[in-house]
Structure 1
Amino acid sequence: MRINNNIMALNANRQLGVNNDKSAKSIEKLSSGLRINRAGDDAAGLSISEKMRGQIRGLNQASRNAQDGISMIQTAEGALNETQSILQRMNELATQASNGTLAANDRTAITSEITALTTEIDRIALSTKFNGQTLLNGTFGVQLDVSGLEVGSAGITAIDISGADASETYTITEGAAAGDYIMTATGSGDTQNITLADGSAGVLDFDKMGIKITVNGSQTSAGIEASVAGGGAAGTVITTAAAAVSLQIGSENDPSQKLGVTIAATGATALAVNALDVSSTTNAANAMTSVQAAIDTVSSRRSDLGAIQNRLEYTVKNLDTSSENLTAAESRIRDVDMAKEIMESTKNNILQQAAQAMLAQANNAPSGVLQLLK
């Protein structure tokens, strides 16, 4: 019988420490609801869980993106619905004006209403906005496709020309009039207005800038292509008036998970109803043809938007389903089984109390040596 080292007490104390640790972990899991609270609990499970959490958050954001897209399309489609109603009324007026029994003052009254309706079509096109962006004036979704150049936002393009003086900045700014561009060289004091006529082509020399810009002739509505060279590598700038707006509808950086949306201009000029003439039966008949063509155009655009909206609605459903399934999978990995953990906690508490009792008895065991001394 040895008293210098109480092996039983050491063993009981070690088991008590183990049970205390297990009990503390059980309390942590039960209080947090998580099976994995730190990497040490399950390193592989934590890694998988974090990847799934990233996917889930990406899917949820993609769903919100798609819902924003639906809201945008609904806004545009609602405005087009009103535009189409106006066109139907204009068609009715043009049909009325084609009646040979009308007097001149009757046609004047019809013309006044058609003019007012035309103005309203333009107002709708200019005032229909989503998140501050005008949807129906033909500028929504302007994008710049650039190769070899540095560009800023649509409409104002900042170009750094390779080989040119670093102190000079060249800017292309779209003017108010169609086909007008302004080239500005900061520091040179030289500003020139450039007018690009339909089908024209030319070479523009800037002596003070020391660069040459070649503009290939094309209609401004189809885009302007310009080659820029400045003593170094050349680049190409291509601007498109109504490029598609890209909606991110997936959780990964993949072209297949982006949806392009283009909304063309639907003002009176774009619909070719800005100058209707009903002063005679012949002109009224021509106006009817123009208005009917505009109605068909708006109907086609509404159909396109409706198709995109339906696609986005299915996209939202799929994203929500994927998010739900991934959340369930992540929960099985990371969340704690409460019933099982409560059972484990109860066991650990009993073992903890038993270890405390055994430690007390082990500490009293050496005192039996005193009986031998009596």
Structure 2
Amino acid sequence: MRISNLHVKQSNVYNLMQNNQHALKAQKKLITSKTFNQASEAPLKTITSLYTRIRINQLDRYQTNIQEARSQLRIAHDKVDTANNIVRRVRELAVQAANGPLHAEDRKIIAIEVEEMLQELIAIANSEYEDGYIFAGSKRNTKPFQVFNSFQNELGKTLVTKVLYQGDHLTKNIRIGDNDEAEILTNGGEIFWADRPTIISRTDSRNFINPTPATIRIDGFALELDAGDNLDVIIEKINAAVPTVTAFAQELPGGERTLAIEANFPHQVALEDLAGTTLLRTLGFLKSGAPGDVPYENLSANVIRDDGSIMDRIILLRNALIDNRIRDVGGIHLGGISRSLESLVKSQAKFSALTTRLDQTDHDLSIEKQAVIERRSAVEDTDIAEASIEFNEFDYLHKISLQTASRLLAPTLLDFL
């Protein structure tokens, strides 16, 4: 009876295949520089790897947004800086016209230069960048400042008589972190506004009771008013819901008690009735038939208001120079120009503060990104020296196994019987 060495052969073949698989796996680590190439090889490492890749993509997106915000801020800051220089020059001309021993004709010459400064300022306020206007709020395709001209006989030239803001009050929010957004000021109705407006209704509201539920919007903040709300309740709700203004009751000389709204900082206040309601119109703020999508042009002609844009203040100064009203030039109009400068400086300060914040956020994101990359590398990347040793070990073991098998399984005459 012949004794078979089949079991020995099968065992050696199995060991050879196992050693070969280990050697191939070690070789693949060297070639790809990865500790695993399929999810089934390391499920837990695969989950960690996916998380780190997703997180890196998020951080990249935040940093891209920061770069975009920086570009917009740089352009806006430069434009406002140029506007600041223009208004500063207008102020110098106002001081010169008010204090110098000038004649009426001299002041008309100064008025012409002021007009040139005004037109240059309007051009800056209507500046464009990439896909739209810079200072139109969210209405990027709308020219922010509409200009009205008329011919001035005394100077014999066409002058700017009125400038209206056509943009909106909305800011641009850019995501720069998981729970962080950067609010970029693009509202020309704030940047180029000289005064804190106060809007006072002339409608007596002492006995006013809101007859039906109403929705109003002030500077983009919507609030609900209930049926039965009186003037004091309306004031309380406005002050609780709208941080940009302060509402209060105003006593007029005739004894009327009316609603007044004062801005908390220089900007053009936007008032709107929403959802088909007419509360603000009933209280005397809005004119009848005012379009709801133009909140800056819907104020009633009967309201008492004290505000104006920087362009308005320059127009008033220019007109006073033409009329040779020295007292007004050196008084209220010079004061209006000074307030205009303050408003522009505050806008520049906001741009600078936001730029500093973006720089710090970008730095923090870079640190986090580097930490996540290192974590991913620790999970995915192969230690080349260790992988080389491992491959050489399995390769050597495979060769030894082949030599051993060749000796143990050498063919004999019995294999052919």
For residue 137 of structure 2, what is the amino acid of its counterpart? F
Note the alpha carbon deviations across 1:299-341, whole angstroms, 9 max, x for none: 0111111111111111100111111101111111111111111
TM-score (norm 2): 0.61
- Residue 295 of structure 1 corresponds to 341
SS in 1 for 2:313: coil
Residue ranges of structure 1 left out of the alignment (5+ in a row): 143-152, 156-175, 178-219, 224-239
Q: How does 1:1-374 map to 2 (within 5 A)?
A: 4-129=4-129, 131-136=130-135, 139-142=136-139, 241-250=168-177, 252=178, 256-265=179-188, 266-267=191-192, 270-271=309-310, 272-275=312-315, 276-277=317-318, 278=321, 279-285=324-330, 286-364=332-410, 366-367=411-412, 369=414
Structure 1 residues 270 and 25, CA gap change in structure 2 (3 angstroms): farther
Matches of 2:59 and 2:168, distance apart in 1:
32
Matches of 1:154 and 1:122, distance apart in 2:
17
Q: Is the 8 A contact 1:35 1:41 kept in 2?
A: no
Q: Is the 8 A contact 2:168 2:187 kept in 1?
A: no
In the TM superposition, what is the alpha-carbon distance from 1:125 to its structure 2 partner? 1.1
For residue 249 of structure 1, what is the amino acid of its counterpart? I
- Residue 227 of structure 1 corresponds to none
Q: Is the 8 A contact 2:174 2:183 kept in 1?
A: yes
Matches of 1:32 and 1:299, distance apart in 2:
57
Structure scoring higher RCO (CA < 8 A, sep ≥ 6) equals: 1
Stretch deviating more after TM superposition (63-72 or 115-124): 63-72
Stretch deviating more after TM superposition (282-291 or 65-74): 282-291
Matches of 1:24 and 1:69, distance apart in 2:
50
Matches of 2:314 and 2:56, distance apart in 1:
50
Note the alpha carbon deviations across 1:61-111, whole angstroms, 9 max, x for none: 101111211111111001111110111111101111102511222111111
Q: Give the RMSD, CA atoms, in angstroms.
A: 2.9
In the TM superposition, what is the alpha-carbon distance from 1:133 to its structure 2 partner? 2.7
Matches of 1:93 and 1:3, distance apart in 2:
119
Matches of 1:93 and 1:14, distance apart in 2:
98
For residue 134 of structure 2, what is the amino acid of its counterpart? L
Q: Is the 8 A contact 1:59 1:323 kept in 2?
A: yes
Task: Give the count of matched residue pairs.
Answer: 277
Q: Is the 8 A contact 2:192 2:309 kept in 1?
A: yes
In the TM superposition, what is the alpha-carbon distance from 1:140 to its structure 2 partner? 2.2
Structure 1 residues 118 and 5, CA gap change in structure 2 (3 angstroms): same
Structure 1 residues 108 and 3, CA gap change in structure 2 (3 angstroms): farther
SS in 2 for 1:105: helix
In the TM superposition, what is the alpha-carbon distance from 1:154 to its structure 2 partner? 9.2
Q: Is the 8 A contact 1:122 1:267 kept in 2?
A: no
Residue ranges of structure 2 left out of the alignment (5+ in a row): 148-163, 194-307
Q: Is the 8 A contact 2:66 2:358 kept in 1?
A: yes
Q: Is the 8 A contact 1:15 1:355 kept in 2?
A: yes
Structure 1 stretches of at least 4 aligned residues deviating more than 6 Å after TM superposition: none
Q: Is the 8 A contact 2:138 2:172 kept in 1?
A: yes
For residue 314 of structure 1, what is the amino acid of its counterpart? Q
For residue 86 of structure 2, what is the amino acid of its counterpart? I
